[in-house]
Amino acid sequence: MEPETIKYKLQKYFEGESSLEDERILHDYFRSVQIDEQLLPYQHLFAGLNGLKDQQIQIQEEDLMDFILENEHREKLRYRKFWQIVTGVAAMLLIALLVVHYTHDRQNWDDTYTDPDQAYATAVQTLRFVAGKYQEGMAQLQPVNKLNQAVKPMNKSLDLINKGFYEMKSIEKVNLKLNKDKP
């Protein structure tokens, strides 16, 4: 490229009026081997700018990786705590059931019926009564099931929106962290 064109683009660059294309041309020119002798002092300037740009990108990548790893660690800790609580509750329930079973076995129960057929008939009658009441209760919940089916598509959309808000918060955290590191 002609030195006069490069000088003109340099002048625009230093006045802050150059386009991105002009800046790309200048960076490419000063990276090349064939540089006019009058423009050699500017070669070090552009080489330094390219180095700073590469270093800044590397720093941003490192910060981003640190942020991602930190969030993954937090998620693992949260799930670990959740499972510790769940297993603790399950263990307490198991112990409670064992205690109830142990105390229940110590009591001697007297049979209500002496005839097994009569006991069976009464149990069947009681279970049918309970099943009927259960069916009546479930029938009253039919409109709620229809409402739940109608709301399902909206819930999926709301989940996507909530996910977007969560990702925006993550991006804001990264942005704040990057702005803190800038001098």
Cα end-to-end span (Å), the chain: 37
- State how far the Cα of 62 lies from the Cα of 59, in Å rounded to an integer: 5
Q: Could you tell me the CA-to-CA distances from 177 to 92, 166, 174, 180 in Å, in that order? A: 43, 17, 5, 5
What number is the average pLDDT over the span 107-124? 84
pLDDT at 148: 80
Tell me if 175 sits within 8 A of 60, measured CB to CB.
Answer: no
Residue 129 predicted with pLDDT over 90: yes
With CA atoms as reference, report the closest residue to 2 among 31, 25, 24.
25
Residue 128 predicted with pLDDT over 70: yes
- Report residue 37 as tokens: 């002798």
Predicted confidence band of residue 123 (pLDDT cuts 50, 70, 90):
very high
Total length of the chain: 183
The share of the chain scoring above pLDDT 90, in percent, equals 17
Q: 43: which residues sit within 8 A by CB, 6+ positions away?
A: 30, 35
SS3 at position 18: coil
Task: Tell me the whole-structure pTM to 2 decimals.
Answer: 0.27
In tens, the pLDDT along 11-45 reads 787 777 878 888 777 777 767 667 766 666 776 67
In tens, the pLDDT along 157-169 reads 888 888 888 888 8
DSSP 37: G
Look at 61-65, 68-72, 157-161, 164-168 and tell me which has the smallest mean pLDDT: 61-65
